[in-house]
Amino acid sequence: MTGLSAETLSAPNVVVLDETLDLNAASELARTFAGLRGAPVTIDPSHVGRVGAQCVQVLIAARKTWMADGTYFTVTPGSEPFNEGLDLLGLTSFFSNERA
């Protein structure tokens, strides 16, 4: 698998994160966000089995960019490994939809 896939729906765009979010997936994830800039985005981390810090950095940058642009960015409920990874890094509240 490639790390993620983007499905364009009526609104917003859904970025479905793949099972392994490692260093190899980070550059593709960044390219996906670059292509979606300015469009509303929903992140679906429900299939993530392993999350690395590099992909989390890309997600942080995307969230900050969308917030600065005033564009819709939300994260649907994640898998247990995804949520544990965010918790371990102290970022659970950063990705809370209450901040969006």
User: pTM surpassing 0.85?
Assistant: no
- Entry field: residues in the chain: 100
Whole-number pLDDT of residue 95: 80
Per-residue pLDDT of the chain (100 residues; tens, 9 = 90+): 344 444 433 457 999 999 999 999 999 999 999 999 999 999 999 999 999 999 999 999 999 999 999 999 999 999 999 999 999 989 988 887 654 4
Neighbour count for residue 2 (Cβ, 10 Å): 11
- For the record, the structure tokens of 2 come out as 């490639």
The three-state (H, E, C) secondary structure of 32-71, written as one string: HHHHHCCCCEEEECCCCCEECHHHHHHHHHHHHHHHHHCC
Helix (H/G/I), strand (E/B), else coil: 4 = strand
Side chain identity, residue 87:
D
